[in-house]
Amino acid sequence: MTPAALPDDDAACLRDAAEFVRDHETDTLLRLLLPGLDGPETRALTDRCRFSHAALLVFPEDPDALRRDLAACGLAIDAEPQPSVVVRARLAARYRRDPADLDVRILRPEVLGLDGNRRMVEVFALTTPPDSDLRAIAALERWERNEAHVAFEVDWPDPLVLHGLRSILARHGATPDGGGYNPHEDGTVFYYAAPADSKAGYRRMELFVRGDHQDVLDVHLAEHRAGQAGNTLLTLFTGAWTTQALAAFAELRIPDAMSAHAGTDTATLAQVTGTHPDRLARLLRYLAALGIVTGHRNGFRLTEAGALLREDGQYSMRPLALMYGGPFYESFSDLAHTVRTGQEAFEHRFGENHFAHFAGRPELADLFQRSMAASSRMFDPVPDHPVFARAAARRVVVDVAGGNGELLARILTAHPHLRGTLLEQPHVVESARRTMRDADCAERCDYVSGGFADVPSGGDVYVLSRVLHDWEDDRCHEILGACSRAMAADADLLVVERVLADHGPAALATAWDLHMMCNVGGRERGLGHYQRLFAAAGLELVATSPLPLDATLMHVRKSSGLS
């Protein structure tokens, strides 16, 4: 059987929208949207605009089959889909995505109303393949219905008329909610949030006007931006709540229970997890707004992002949730102390530095090592680097401060001709031994217990993964100097870090820079900064390669003429 382009939830929403368009007329719909309208105001609006369509955003897996699925919902269409400039821009801004990554198209199947007038269902379609990272966006948009609206087309595209219509809407509590000009259709869109007492079932409405009305649009968008400032701050203030909601979700092992009991209602899930049914439902509702779970006819189910919080899942990020919701969460409450004094907030909060604190507490040390391994997806391309494939010359890989050995185990597994040496503190070495045993690499790995002054010589490839960002420049000079002295003239050094961009939107490295400052006294750096550190140790950057999770692999060798 040919797979459907649309998930069941989207198809049901399409059928509901078609029924809504059939059943409503301009004047009755306006009274539902704006309950306070009086007779003269209703006539002023109905004389100048008419109900044209109801809109929704759907997420087909296969855009070529979308027409068939629309037909199955009673919505036939002949015209080719057009690009959606406005909705694409709104999604890009909402999720900080490049608009070029969001191919949003518009289709407008006709619906014959009960009053005999032809209207449309406006379908915005964002293609979302099964393995796409857009699926988390799709889950959140289905829950929030940010792009669902009812629209009125203005028949008198005169600036004075537009200002008059906007005044009536504002008087009855409709507030500007964005908009724009679509050159593909030569039309200007004015979005509004419906007033709180609206009874239409749609939270947003649109005025569509033929032509480019930039002056009126500028006023509309300025009002929208002014109203958004407070909402933006309130959303940012709740970031701490998000961290704790994710930590609680992981701590209570709710993702594991949801995976094992797919389709279970919330009451049963609460019984399985030993939680309070009402409180659990409210937590899940909040997590649905974050795209971690999605609402389902039988309760909630995990999204791809939520599945990463399962304890037994590949690349499980549960340890990160517990770490960021635990000791690191506490330390960030003293961020102002760090900014004021330069001292790490972690040390101020716990009375000792991050490394000493974890070393003296085995359970925290284990959680920290597992949290580091939770980001190991960034290592996936590293074993493919050409320095490892030179079997005749490349024999020993030295992983400096290699943690639990996750990266070194991957390298040795991919290249059976290699041996490994892992340098780490004594309390971490045992964890690395377990990793090597599990990877069946124990016979090809040696261990050196010690610090950076103990970097062993004789390696063909040296690895520094997420080490330099723990330290300020003076300590990095010592670490790189020790590596340089241990390296032969033809040895290679691979450095894995998040690199600050010189320009463009803020990336994960920007957030991690604050994290390093607050917790360990280190920092993230730009590429030029790293090049200066390498040069001071007699090293030079040969090439860079992008890695997952916003990381970068830097290939470094000894500077020409040095040995």
> Which residues are part of the catalytic machinery?
469
Structure tokens, 192:
């509004």
Closest of 413, 428, 422 to residue 382, by C-alpha: 413
Closest of 224, 417, 297 to residue 8, by C-alpha: 297
SS3 398: strand
The amino acid that residue 229 corresponds to is A
Residue 217, CB-side half-sphere exposure with 13 Å CA sphere: 21
- Tell me which DSSP letter residue 73 carries: T
CA dist 467 and 551 (Å) reads 13
**First CA to last CA distance, the chain:** 66
Length of the chain: 563
Closest of 233, 244, 235 to residue 332, by C-alpha: 244
User: DSSP E strands: which ranges in 413-538?
Assistant: 419-424, 445-449, 461-465, 492-497, 499-500, 525-526
CA dist 407 and 92 (Å) reads 34
Would you say 331 and 358 are in contact if contact means Cβ atoms under 8 Å apart? no
Structure tokens, 62:
């296969």
What region, left, alpha or beta, does residue 201 occupy, with left being phi > 0 and alpha being psi -120 to 50 degrees? left
CA dist 437 and 561 (Å) reads 41
CA dist 55 and 298 (Å) reads 26
Geometric angle at alpha carbon 385, from 413 and 425, rounded to 5°: 60
Name residue 496's beta-bridge partners.
Answer: 465, 553
CA dist 76 and 325 (Å) reads 50
Percent helix, strand, coil in the chain (nearest 5)? 50, 20, 30
Give the β-pairing of 499-500 and 525-526: parallel
Residue 544, CB-side half-sphere exposure with 13 Å CA sphere: 15
CA dist 531 and 166 (Å) reads 56
CA dist 123 and 60 (Å) reads 11
SS3 264: coil
556-559 contacts, C-beta under 8 A, 24 or more apart: 556/492, 556/493, 556/494, 556/495, 557/491, 557/492, 557/493, 558/484, 558/487, 558/489, 558/491, 559/535
Closest of 526, 532, 529 to residue 507, by C-alpha: 526
Residue with tokens 């269902």: 121
Structure tokens, 26:
């301009």
**φ and ψ of 126, to 5 deg:** -110, 110
Rg (CA), the chain: 29
